[in-house]
Amino acid sequence: MSLEEEKQGQETALEEQSYNAEQITVLKGLEAVRMRPAMYIGSTGTKGLHHLFVEVVDNSIDEALAGYCTAITVTLHADNSISVLDNGRGFPVDIHPEMGLPGVQVAMTVLHAGGKFGAGGYKVSGGLHGVGVSAVNALSAWMVTEVYRDGHIYRQRYERGEAVTSLEIVGKTKVTGTRQTWMADREIFEQIEYHLDIFVQRLRELAYLNKGIKIILTDERPGETQGQTQEFYYKTGISAFVEHLNRNKDPLHKVVYFDRSREDTQVEIALQYNDSYQENILTFANNIHTTEGGAHLSGFKTALTRVINNYGRKAGILKEKDSNFTGDDVREGLTAVISVKLLHPQFEGQTKTKLGNSEIEGIVNSIVGEGLTEFLEENPTTARKIIEKSLTAARAREAARRASELVKRQSALENAALPGKLADCTERDPSKCEIYLVEGDSAGGSAKQGRDRRFQAVLPLRGKILNVEKKRIDQALDNQEIKSLITALGTGITKSASSEGAARDSENGNGNGHSNGNGNGKDDLSTFDVGKLRYDRVIIMADADVDGQHIRTLLLTFFFRYMRPLVEEGHIYIAQPPLFQIRSGKQYTYAKDEDERDRLVKSIGRRDVLVRRFKGLGEMNAEELRDTTMDPQQRTIAQVSLEDAVEADEIFTILMGDKVEPRRNFIEAHAKEVADVDWHGS
């Protein structure tokens, strides 16, 4: 190689390694949203698809918060397009001074363009980043915006985020408002399939949080719900929300409600105690459900505990020698909704699940302190019921504390402390381990023989565990099967099942110098630690009959009430054992139900086919159980997820609670939907 050739080669190499401005790609308009949709709507699956609807409806709700909108109509059209109509002010249609385009076109086609950045369009809003409706536009095959304003109807059409028509006047009107209609883009979304219950849940929630606003939902799609119209309107707002949450429980008093403003922040609180053992606290900031709580939840908890302790001592129910109630004590049986509306909310994380404004904690603390103190002093009979409820909870907590000492997890080296029935695995890395919770000793024996002992553990459960929905925690901890389960898993338990994350918050807020009885500033039973989970997958394996379904439900009730983070983080699974074995010669196949059995028999097409029905796991030998239900290469397991904590709480209350009437109504309403129920052994 000559010197000249070598020099040219070096220059070429330098050019390949260089990183110049010309190599930086500039995405124009809404290209960034289409290229990385998950950054803006979370995913391109079911959640992301429905998030488009949430963004558009939130714009209408922001008009309501500003005082200009009283009605919203949502329609699911037959072609799977969606429209949202409100009677707000309507998008601005005048020319934007910098962009030279109509204001509506700027809002629809430019990221971070909107009336929520301090220019006076909105004081309070849920949409903060200016990417809401423009992101919907970008991810839609087409979108049509109609604006009713200044006596005219304006219309503009967009395709995949770009305007394909100018803003046109297409008619006259005497009303104001905006109608958004869009068709989600099949190039972006895995499947265009809307679930009506998601719409109902969000619209009902918004109607509760914004009292006096009327929201109408119509489904025009073919099917059972075609033509169905639902109206959501709640004159008393979140008070009605609390009544709804408690409708299947026995309340101890009427809903306590107060609404006060301070420092440009509005705080609405509604609460009511019932005779159950769980707490259910929902928090919202600017209509956004903050599922992980945050500053407003902390302020509420601190004030609640302080006020009830102060009143208990003032009334002489708490004696000088008595320890203060803990936060868990005063929240047992409490249902509450906390709604704050503020100018500049700061949410932790892109999903906006936790409110981070530190000043809100003090504001809520002060308002709850004043409002609740006034209520208790003005309603001594109700006040005494609440204090006595807390006193009973405190006594049970002490009993539970003693019981919990018996079920605390020991280190992996102290295997002698693990349940004697547990057949543990040899692997010590929890992320590689799984445990089968097996119904009965017979099936447990087969499972122990059929497992891969390197990473699979088996815990046989004798019969049906206690229904924790009907028992206080100290009674639950006295149950041997529950003791074994808690000890085997190793995480400890959460005291209660607040919908805002019982394991994440441990505010006690005693606030007056009295000891809470445990010396460490935390509730005795708030010891759940998912980091101590000994098995990454917890698999419920029960028979496919009614008894097996009942056992699964009892276990799921326990996990939801006292180990909810395991459900939320996807650690709970349900094994799917087959109902049938199909034998043809020396070949075996398995079918999970009658339909699959018939399909397999037909596909084999031979006369010597033998079909065997398993009546239970105990009928399977170790090899059959391994091949069908335990071998990761062949088995099918269903992961349990928590899509809607409010609905889940309601279902567990109905199906597993004390009240018979709601359960009978539920069964009558859904009896026709039941299929493939095996009544053997019921």
Catalytic residue numbers, as ranges: 439, 543, 545, 547
List the beta bridge partners of residue 272: 335
Angle between helix 238-245 and helix 196-209 axes, rounded to 10 deg: 130
Q: What is the dihedral of CA 665, 667, 672, 675, to 10 degrees?
A: 170
Start-end of H helices in 176-224 = 196-209
d(CA 282, CA 314): 30
Which phi and psi (to 5°) does residue 68 adopt? -115, -5
Which phi and psi (to 5°) does residue 193 adopt? -140, 115
Q: What is the DSSP letter of 139?
A: T
d(CA 283, CA 339): 6
Both tokens of 227, joined, read 């033509």
d(CA 390, CA 412): 37
How many residues does the structure list for the chain? 682
Angle between helix 358-378 and helix 295-314 axes, rounded to 10 deg: 30
Only one residue has tokens 């439900």, namely: 553
Three-state DSSP at 261 gives strand
What is the torsional sign of CA 365, 370, 373, 375?
A: negative
d(CA 232, CA 247): 17
Closest Cα to residue 496, out of 523, 466, 533, 465? 523
Helix (H) or strand (E) holding 555: helix 546-562
What does each C-alpha distance from 175 to 57, 104, 403 come to in angstroms? 19, 18, 66
Residue 193 falls in which region: left (phi positive, over 0), alpha (psi -120 to 50) or beta? beta
CA 214 to chain CA centroid, Å, is 25
Both tokens of 367, joined, read 């308002």
